[in-house]
A and B are shown apart, each in its own frame.
Chain A
Amino acid sequence: QVQLQESGPGLVKPSETLSLTCSVSGGSINPYFWGWIRQSPGKGLEWIAYMYYSGGTKYNPSLESRVSISLDVPKKQVSLKLRSVTAADTAVYYCARGSGLYHYHYYMDVWGKGTTVTVSS
């Protein structure tokens, strides 16, 4: 049973960088996508980015200038960095495993429980 566990600081100051890690247990990194989704208070789910196990990445255009995703295959960890955060980045951040042969097949079949990040001074 694959399990995902997000970790990172619960509080980040405005203008700083939010850094989160997702640890994968009980399964292999390949041949999957590994990504991040968030949900801000009172809003819907927002897809942030994914990275394919072999290295390709895709970002939400609205966040692309501030976000980066990386994958440490030996450690089985996926990391997210979001720069220059503001209060609008306050959200529950989820890590998820993705599957699908092409973009239009894409779906997320395993999710972490999420970690709450608050941006405040």
Chain B
Amino acid sequence: QSVLTQPPSVSAAPGQKVTISCSGISSNTGNSFVSWYQRLPGTAPKLLVYENVKRPSGIPDRFSGSRSATSATLDITGLQTGDEADYYCGTWDTSAGLYVFGSGTEVTVL
């Protein structure tokens, strides 16, 4: 069972927006920076967002992250069929002393 809670799935039509939540507690999402990873079918996970809001070079600004208290959010705007993937949040848990991941969210483009 994952330490961080994400909705199992979200969906929207092309061009629309989806929001993926990542809920934790004070020792993880409440205290450490959150990252988001995208795993397209059959490929390695890819970093989308780090330190809550920053995007690596090459990641379009359609992907944006935020954090408030013990929850983090990934917004995907202008949804494209190529965005169909599993999305995971991750952060360091200072109490448990390890990196923890969310349960994962499957994004479907209708």
Contact = CB atoms under 8 A, between A and B. Distances in A.
A107 B46 contact: no
A61 B50 contact: no
Given A61-B98, A94-B44, A112-B44, A107 B51 contact: yes
Given A45-B45, A45-B104, A104-B31, A109 B56 contact: yes
Interface residues of A, number: 25
B35 A107 contact: yes
Contacts of A111: 44-47
Interface stretch (B18-26, B66-74, B75-83, B89-97): B89-97
B53 interface: no
Contacts of B97: 58, 61
B33 A104 contact: yes
**Residue among A59, A60, A100, A104 facing the most chain B CB atoms (10 A cut-off):** A104
A44 interface: yes
A76 interface: no
Given A45-B101, A47-B99, A106 B2 contact: no
Interface string B51-64: 10000100000000
- Nearest 9 Cβ contacts at the A-B interface: A104-B32, A47-B99, A107-B35, A107-B50, A45-B101, A111-B44, A44-B2, A103-B92, A113-B44
27 contacts: A44-B2, A44-B101, A44-B102, A45-B45, A45-B101, A47-B99, A47-B100, A47-B101, A50-B99, A61-B97, A94-B45, A100-B33, A103-B92, A104-B91, A105-B51, A106-B92, A107-B35, A108-B37, A108-B45, A108-B90, A109-B47, A109-B50, A110-B47, A111-B44, A111-B45, A111-B46, A113-B43
Interface of B: 2, 31-33, 35, 37, 43-47, 50-51, 56, 88, 90-92, 94, 96-104
